[in-house]
């Protein structure tokens, strides 16, 4: 009888999440492309107004401590957004860029969740592999919150509280210890891609999307992105460097996250003789077998 693979669930969940992100982005990208083309054809006609197309919205807020009039708080305009003519088409392109960036950021989050859940699942099935000093410290401080080692919740808390770090270096380090073949595969693979360096670049752009409006201000992070234009394209205007993803580059990022996750899944499985061939073809095959 084949031993159940404890990393199977986390990998399948990540596949589902990446597939959803990709589907949403591809559909949005196609809809924006078709709508833009149709509007441009209309705008090019001799009888089209100079302002066509036009879009405008106002965002309001209220002073929630002010007296209400007839039970209604008075709205105040916070600002307006207007796009007319060529500005409208630039807005459509910006919408595609921002959604591509959101997908890159969400792909990063999906991979991060996979790292934690995979380590937790593996340690739940193989508790002897855990660092005994860390386990003792974890329990002594009560961070297990009354969960016990036979429960997956224990190991989920253990991994998230003791191995959370900048750019997930501690969780990746734990997985490399648990799967000795992983470090070699990260650097020598069929893509000729050093995934450790690629992930550092992914961490930089994820931070830019989440915290700095796609801007990458520091010289060192920009250096870390060199050579990764196929995944993380940049624009340069004076001293300003901006992350400018497209639908296609975002899709490639999701593919690489999936390939990186599969390496983790495969080498964790090999480390304890679990079946990893359940993912022989693609994520759809994995999900089909899991649902069977």
- On whether the CB atoms of residues 19 and 261 are closer than 8 A, the answer is no
Count the helix, strand and coil residues of the chain and give each as a percent rounded to the nearest 5: 60, 10, 30
Q: Say which range, 112-126, 142-156, 179-193, 194-208, has the weakest mean pLDDT.
A: 142-156
Secondary structure of residue 231 in the 3-state scheme = coil
Does the residue 66 lie in any domain? no
pLDDT digits (tens, 9 = 90+) for 124-162: 999 999 999 999 998 888 888 888 899 999 999 999 999
Does the residue 61 lie in any domain? no
Does the residue 187 lie in any domain? yes
Does the residue 150 lie in any domain? yes
pLDDT recorded at residue 184:
97
pLDDT digits (tens, 9 = 90+) for 66-89: 988 888 999 999 999 999 989 999
Q: Which class for 43: exposed (0-12), middle (13-18), buried (19 or more C-beta within 10 A)?
A: middle
Domains in the chain, number: 1
Does the residue 2 lie in any domain? no
Is a pLDDT exceeding 80 seen at residue 282?
Answer: no
Does the residue 69 lie in any domain? no
Does the residue 58 lie in any domain? no
Write the CB contacts of 70 (distance below 8 Å, at least 6 apart in sequence). none
For residue 134, the enclosing domain spans 8-50+85-291
- Residue 56's H or E segment, with its range, is strand 54-62
Does the residue 25 lie in any domain? yes
Q: What is the pTM of this model?
A: 0.89
Secondary structure of residue 240 in the 3-state scheme = strand
pLDDT digits (tens, 9 = 90+) for 230-270: 999 999 888 889 999 999 999 999 999 999 999 999 999 99
């Amino acid at each position: 009888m084949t031993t159940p693979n404890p990393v199977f669930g986390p990998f399948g969940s990540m596949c589902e999440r990446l597939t959803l992100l990709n589907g949403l982005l591809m559909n949005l990208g196609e809809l924006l492309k078709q709508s833009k083309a149709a509007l441009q054809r209309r705008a090019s006609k001799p009888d089209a107004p100079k302002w066509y197309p036009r879009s405008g919205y106002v965002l309001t807020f209220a002073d929630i401590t002010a007296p209400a009039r007839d039970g209604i708080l008075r709205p105040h305009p916070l600002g307006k957004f207007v796009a007319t003519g060529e500005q409208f088409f630039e807005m459509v392109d910006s919408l595609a860029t921002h959604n591509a960036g959101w997908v890159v950021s969400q792909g990063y989050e999906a991979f991060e969740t996979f790292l934690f859940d995979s380590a937790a699942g593996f340690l739940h099935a193989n508790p002897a592999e855990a660092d005994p000093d860390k386990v003792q410290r974890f329990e002594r401080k009560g961070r297990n919150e009354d969960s016990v080692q036979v429960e997956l919740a224990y190991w989920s808390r253990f991994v998230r509280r003791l191995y959370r770090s900048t750019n997930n270096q501690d969780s990746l380090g734990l997985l490399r210890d648990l799967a000795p073949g992983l470090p070699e595969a990260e650097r020598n693979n069929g893509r000729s891609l050093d995934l450790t360096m690629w992930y550092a670049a992914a961490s930089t752009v994820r931070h830019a999307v989440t915290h700095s409006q796609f801007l990458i201000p520091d010289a060192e992070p920009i250096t870390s992105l060199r050579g990764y234009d196929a995944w993380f394209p940049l624009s340069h205007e004076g001293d300003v460097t901006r992350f400018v993803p497209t639908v296609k580059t975002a899709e490639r990022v999701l593919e690489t996250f999936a390939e990186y996750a599969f390496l983790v899944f495969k080498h964790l499985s090999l480390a304890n003789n679990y079946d990893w061939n359940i993912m022989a073809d693609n994520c759809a095959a994995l999900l089909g077998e899991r649902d069977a």
